[in-house]
Each structure stands twice: as C-alpha cells, then as structure tokens.
Structure 1
Amino acid sequence: MKNFEQSVEKAMADGVILGAVVCAKGKVNYSKAFGNRILTLKAEPMEQDTVFVLASMTKLMTGIAALQLVERGLVKLDDDVASLLPVLAKQPILTGFEEDGTPITKQRTGPITLRHLLTHSLGGSYDFASGDILRWRKIQNTLGKPGVTIEEAFGHPLLYEPGESWCYGTASDWAGKVVEALSGLSLEDYMKQHIWSPLGVKDITFWPAARPEMANRMCSMSIRDTRSGKAVQSRKPIAMTPGAKEAFGGQGAYASMGDYTEILNSLLVDDERLLKKETTAVMFQPQLSGGSRLALNEAMSNPQWAVGYYPQGAYNWGLGGLLVEGKTESSWRKAGTMLWGGAINSAWFIDRATGVCGVFGCNLLPSADPQIEVLMKGFEEEIYKKSAEEERPNSRL
C-alpha cells in the first residue's frame, strides 16, 4: 500500500485533507489512520477507533435491517407498506407548476413497497437532487428548516409513481420507519440487537452525544476553504440531522471505520451473522429495470453529485447500494460490486467476486470533493492490486 500511503501523506502536506481512516478486509486485511481528527486547542491524532459521520453510509445498515424482517416473515419485498407510513402515504405526486407558481399535483395510484424504499424508486427526492422539490419547499417556506422527525423533514410530494423511475432521496429514511413499525423497536435498539451486537461491534450509534466514550473520539468536521482551497477545521459543528428526535435511517448514524468494515465483511464472506446466504444473494442482484434503470444510469452519467469514484459504465441498484452491472472504466471492479458513499466524503465497496471490501473515512465538506475522490480511487486500486498479488503462486516467497 506504499503508493496509496504516499499519496495521502502528500495530500495532507498540500492541505487537501486533514486526515482519514481506511480499512479493508477479505483477501486483503489493511487498516491505517492518517493525520489528525482535531486541531483546535490541542492536536489529536486520527486513530483506528475515531468516530465519523456516516451520512448516507447509514443506508446500508437500514437495508440489512429491512431484509432481516423479510427473513422473519414480517413483510415481503413487494408488500404495500403505505399503511405503516401514513404521512408518506397521503403525499401526492408533483407534476409541475402553474405560471403563478402554484404546484400541480395528482394522487398516487400504485402501492409503496419495501423494494421501492430500498432501491430509491419511491419518488421521494432530497431537495438538493431535485429542482422541483427545492421549488416546492420554497413555496411552502420550509427550505432551510430541517425537520426533527422524518415526517417533518421529508413529508413532501413524490416525483413519480413508485417504481416508474429513479431518484436519489429519502426512501431509506422511510424504510427505517417501516423497521420500527414492524419490530416495535427504535431503529437504534433494533440495529444494536440485530446488527451491531451479533458482530460484536460497539462503536456505532445514532446518538453519540449519549455515549461519552464515543463522543470524545469524534472526528472534527473540516471544510474546503474557498480562498486557499485547503482543508481547514470548521469553527462550528456541522450536523447532518440537527435537532433530530428520531433515528434517520438514510443518514443519521456515526461509527468508527473499523466497526463499519465488520458489516461490510459479514456480507462479503457470507458468514450469516446478519443475513442468510440466500438473502445476501438477492441483496446483490440488480433490482431496477425499464424506466427506473434508465433514470439511474442517466444520473450516474454525470456523477459529480455522488460521493465516491463512479467512472462511466453500466450501473443498477441492489437492496443495499449501487451495483456495477457491467464493464466500467474501473476495470478492476467486477460485475456485482456494491458500493456507495456518504455526504462527508466517505465511501465503501464490497466486491464478492474478487473477495475484498473496504471503506474510506473522512469528515470534509463540501460533498463529493473531487480531490478526495482521487484518494478514494487510489485506495481501491491499491487494494485490488494487493489482492491480485495474494492470488499469485509463491507470492509470499
């Protein structure tokens, strides 16, 4: 991993990044902490147990939780779960605006299924991903007013009939509400009992403030200074879900990268501590077709909005993240590789065909920083290179 480590060291010297923690498992077992997690008052080095904002990397855990409920027979992927989500169920479909700005809507006619929620084919978009939702929120005077519950934050119209298209958005947060409704547990308690504890991990939570031993290891937020272009520590705390009163299954968790990697590795090696082998196989199968698949690939044809390295190629969506469906310009990734990122410039991947998984942890804004994308790509390339070396006969002689 010499080339990657040198590139990170240079990036820190150049002010591109203040620090990072990276982990990989499978055919390659590697972990390393770089730089500092905090600079103000007294510099504190980045450690293996430093806690990061997961942001949208939370979505993978919510997908696992939902699939566990499918395994237990509490719900099927194509069951209509609208009755469990009354605020979402009453939302119309936004079709446009009158000349005077009045929204034009129509009533939803189809079901809302768990599959729609796990594949972002629901129609519920984040405002940053949709000009129409942004405009609607301005009209409603809710823009810039983050809700403290999922209903408050995301109780806005859909953009299309569920299943007919694709847009990145609020679906995983609603999936978390389904998990709570069917399990009778808060999302935090459910994941603790059925995801984190079975893996023996303790450094994941939606509520770090209630866990002083974790809060004291939090990575500070850094930002890209607009004048110098260098990474600097933010003078103010930046929260993904400020004032949240419930767990947001699409963006609200915090974790050390080592503990998060244990989740990736369980899916990689099929140890059945989280999901049965047959369920994991379905999780890694393409779920989108027709208009929804076309819409996803159109969005990924210009992926500057997405955190991670996404070269041109064929993509689909599984039940836990983006899937590489065919050849891409990153020739090392095999078809079926699942991957995604979080808004604070962290990203993960699982390649079951090659036998490797990994995560790049960083706390920096703005999202989808192109300079950090270069480091993410370098990390992945080195992991695959090392994996290939491990497969060569007598490679250790």
Structure 2
Amino acid sequence: MSTFEEQATKAVENSEIPGIVAIAKDKDGNLNYSKTFSRNGGTVYKEDSVLAIASMTKLMTSIAAVQLVERGLITLDEDVTPLLPSLAKLEILTGFADDGTAITHKRTKPITLRTLLTHSSGVAYGWADPLLLKYIEWKKPDTNADTIDEAFDQPLVFEPGEGFTYSSSLDRTGQLIEKLTGLGLEEYMKKNIWDPLGMTSTTFSPREHPDIQARKVPMGFRDDKTGAAVETGEPGWFEKGATCTQAFGGHGAYSTMADYIKVLHSLLVDDEKLLKKETAALFFQPQLTPASKAALLKLSRSGTDWTIGTFPETDEYDWGLGGILIDGDKHEFRRRNTLIWSGAANTYWFIDRDAGVCGVFGIQILPTFDAKAKDLITAFEEDVYRRAGKL
C-alpha cells in the first residue's frame, strides 16, 4: 500500500489535487511533521500559504465563546436569545400548507450556548436539512446578504436540544461574542487567540492585509470531465464572508496551516494559553442530549455526505464543544474523545489527547466531500499515528 506521501505526490503530479500542506505534532515533542506538495507549473504550496479554512473557523469561535464562560459573562446553559433578538424571533418550521406557505410554531425550549456549540439548537444550514431547503426555495432570500441576520433569517427545524443538524449556529455564536464583549469578532480573536499563540497570518479579511492576501492560494475546482483540479481564479461558494460587513464565525476565516496547528497543539498539550484546564477538558467530553445524539447517529448511518474524512459506522460519535467526538473504542486508531472537524474546501483537523497527537491537512479543492481528498485525508491521519508510534 502506498504511504501518504506517495499518494499525495502522485495526486499532485497528476493534477488531481492543486497542492497540500500537512502538519502534525505530538504531545511530547517527538513528532514535528510538516510537508508540502505542489505540482509543476502550478501554485506553490508552502507552510505559510494562506487558505480559506471555512468551517475550521468554528473551532476558534467555540474557543472564544468558552473563554467568555470562564470570565463569567455567560454560562453554557442560559437562554442566549435575550442577547440576540434576531435569533429569538425564529420559530420552528414544521411543514407547508396546501398553498405552499410555510407552517411554523413558537419554540418552547431555550436556545443555549451549549446547543449552539453542538449544532443542537434547531438552527440549520439549508443544504443540510431538506425541509429548510424547501423553505429557502419558497422564500427566495437575498443571495447577496452580507450580515448574519440577513444570511440566516430562516426558521429552526426542531426544538433546541431535541435534534442535531449541521448548522450556522457558530455564526450566531460569533454574534453573541461581539454582543458580550463589544468587540468585532476579528478584534476579539486577535487579542485572545491569535496573538497569544503567535498566529500572524489569520484573519477574516485578507484583503485588508496585503501580506496575507499575497500568500492566499487560489481555489481549485474538480473538472467533471477530466477529473483534474482547475484553478479558475474564482472564490469558493463559502467565501462570501471575506467581503461581508461582519465576520462569520462559522466559516469566514483564512489562515495558514502553520498558524492553525498552534490552536490544535495548545489544546493537545493543555498549556492554558487559550483555556483553563478544566474548561479545555469540556471540549473533549460528550455534550449532546440523548435525543440529539440519536439524531447525530441516525445521520451518520444515513449515507449522506456531511463529514469530510472517514467515519466508519461504529455508532460511537457525539459532539464536543468544538467538533465531532469519537465516543467509543472501536475505531482502528483514533482513541475515545478524539475531536475532529473540517472545512468546505476539504481541509481537516484532529486532536487525540489520549494518543497525544494532532494534525491539520490543508488543501483547496471543491466540491466539498471530494473523494480524492477524502482518501488523502484518511492516509494522512493514519500516517500521523504511525509516525508517532501509536498504531
């Protein structure tokens, strides 16, 4: 079987992948892996190449929110809607009348920070929920919306705490952070996450930082006919946040993999640069209610593409405060309470505190859930455990 590096080299040389930055570290300082792959005549990928990290933004927003819990500005389980009137007014979508009009009713349970962080608040992405997608098609919202209130003015799809669906809830969490601190999300993260870790190439607004913008690699798109990765110069569909008037905490950030590994490693070694030890521990503990966990497991068995990377049908999944959580011991190499998530352009990260390893896989290829990227991510993740002597 080919090693990860052999597979990655071949994929790039064959123009199946535009380029890769892969970085991994372990807890003890024995593993410090960094490798880049670039195709001849194409974009050069480097450690300091800037990528649109999309939903990898969510981990940083989650950290920022839990920092506010530490400071006593909010709790995980109080109703947040008094602080977010635009969220408070949303009702629950139950169906459509014969004339096509949406049928909604008022929620009876509070939306809390815990439900926002775990995608169990009832908020949803249209692409992730068929009923909400039908609503969006009926409502025909403004596709040029550049604020979170405008972009996600859509009903809930279940009572908070009674379901699970991947969602825009971290964008709402970003609004909450701004409301509680009086700071823009970029300003808050720079002061409380990026600067403490020495992250100098992370931003929601690359165009406002010429050095960062100059290192931004173009998005690659899979050509349906040839299978090649083509860099057209067009942005990804999720990059709206780069030109919006508000930072989208669910998908709007840009970063280098050299920067992003600092977040992962800080949580891995528990150095308290971001969170106190007892608070960081919550990130790696199951957070879903029984009803929400059942909904997540049902989704994981459905065969629907909603995760990047490989997730065998072990029925051992939950959600921590910052990503999907391995909730059992059946996986081939991941340990219990490993935290994982990804970004729309097939970027990917993981933290396994039991095995003492973390890694980030940087790439820019669409569509999301690209099969070739999935194979490479799987090979990379397994290779990290092998290099760390954890297989």
Same fold (TM over 0.5): yes
Q: Would the aligned equivalents of 2:236 and 2:366 in 1 still touch at CA under 8 Å?
A: no
Tell me the residue number matched to 2:32: 29
Give the AA of the match of 1:17.
I
SS of the aligned residue for 1:8 comes to helix
1:114 and 2:116 aligned: no
Between the aligned partners of 1:223 and 1:187, the Cα distance in structure 2 is: 30
SS at match of 1:326: coil
Give the alignment of 1:234-383 within 5 angstroms. 234-238=232-236, 240-242=238-240, 243-301=243-301, 302=303, 304-313=305-314, 314-328=316-330, 330-383=331-384
Offset of 1:235 from its aligned partner?
4.1
Asked if 2 retains the 8 angstrom alpha-carbon contact of 1:92 and 1:108, the reply is yes
For the aligned residue pairs, the C-alpha RMSD in angstroms reads 1.6
Cα deviations by residue, 1:285-340 (Å, 9 ceiling, x for unpaired): 00013210011111122252222222222100000000000134x41000000001
Aligned ranges for residues 1-397 of structure 1 at < 5 Å? 3-26=3-26, 27-35=30-38, 43-142=42-141, 145-238=143-236, 240-242=238-240, 243-301=243-301, 302=303, 304-313=305-314, 314-328=316-330, 330-388=331-389
Shift of 1:14: 2.6
SS across alignment from 1:327: coil
Structure 2 residue aligned with 1:395: none
Cα distance in 2, alignment partners of residues 272 and 53 from structure 1: 27
Identity percentage over the alignment?
Answer: 47
Q: Which amino acid aligns with 1:204?
A: T
Provide the C-alpha distance between the structure 1 equivalents of 2:141 and 2:95, rounded to a whole number of angstroms.
18
Per-residue CA distance 1:241-296 (angstroms, 9 max, x = gap)? 42411000000000000100000000000000000000011111000132100111
Secondary structure of 2:335's aligned partner:
coil
8 Å contact from structure 1 (residues 146, 241) kept in 2 = no
Note the alpha carbon deviations across 1:12-53, whole angstroms, 9 max, x for none.
1233201110110115210111115x96xxx44111100001
Q: Are 1:287 and 1:316, in contact at CA under 8 Å, matched by a contact in 2?
A: yes
Q: Is 1:77–1:113's contact at 8 Å kept on the other side of the alignment?
A: yes
CA distance in 2, matches of 1:59, 1:334: 22
By how many angstroms is 1:146 displaced? 4.3
More displaced, 176-185 or 5-14? 5-14
What secondary structure sits across from 1:304 in the alignment? coil
CA deviation string 1:355-379 (max 9, x = no partner)? 0000100111000111111100100
Amino acid aligned to 2:326? V
Contact map agreement 2:219 2:231 (CA 8 A) in 1: yes
Say whether the 8 Å CA contact 2:267–2:280 is kept in structure 1. yes
Q: Which stretch has the larger CA shift, 45-54 or 241-250? A: 241-250
Paired residues of 2:22 and 2:361 also in contact (CA < 8 A): yes
- For the residues of structure 1 that align with 2:277 and 2:148, how far apart are their CA atoms? 32
* Cα contact 1:303–1:310 (8 A) shared by 2: no
SS in 1 for 2:68: helix
Kindly state the Cα deviation for residue 239 of structure 1 after the two structures are TM-superposed.
5.0
* 1:94 counterpart letter in structure 2: L
**What one-letter code is carried by the residue in structure 2 that aligns with 1:32?**
K
Partners of 2:326 and 2:121 in 1: CA distance: 21
Q: Any idea what SS the aligned residue of 2:349 has? A: strand
Structure 1 pair 335/303, CA: closer, same or farther in 2 (3 Å)?
A: farther
Q: Distance in 1 between matches of 2:235 and 2:337?
A: 37
Listed as ranges, the gaps of 5+ residues in structure 1 are 392-397
Partners of 2:312 and 2:375 in 1: CA distance: 12
**Paired AA for residue 355 in structure 2:** T
Distance 1:336 1:387 in 2: 18
- Cα distance per residue 1:178-219 (max 9 Å; x no partner): 111111100000000000011111111000000000000001
Q: 1:94, CA displacement in angstroms?
A: 0.3
Q: Are 2:23 and 2:361, in contact at CA under 8 Å, matched by a contact in 1?
A: yes
User: Structure 1 segments of 4 or more deviating over 3 A?
Assistant: none
CA contact 2:18–2:43 (8 Å) conserved in 1: no
Distance 1:340 1:276 in 2: 22
Q: Given that residues 117 and 169 in structure 2 are in contact (C-alpha distance below 8 angstroms), is that contact kept between their aligned partners in structure 1? A: yes
Amino acid at match of 2:14: D
Q: TM-score, normalised on structure 2?
A: 0.95
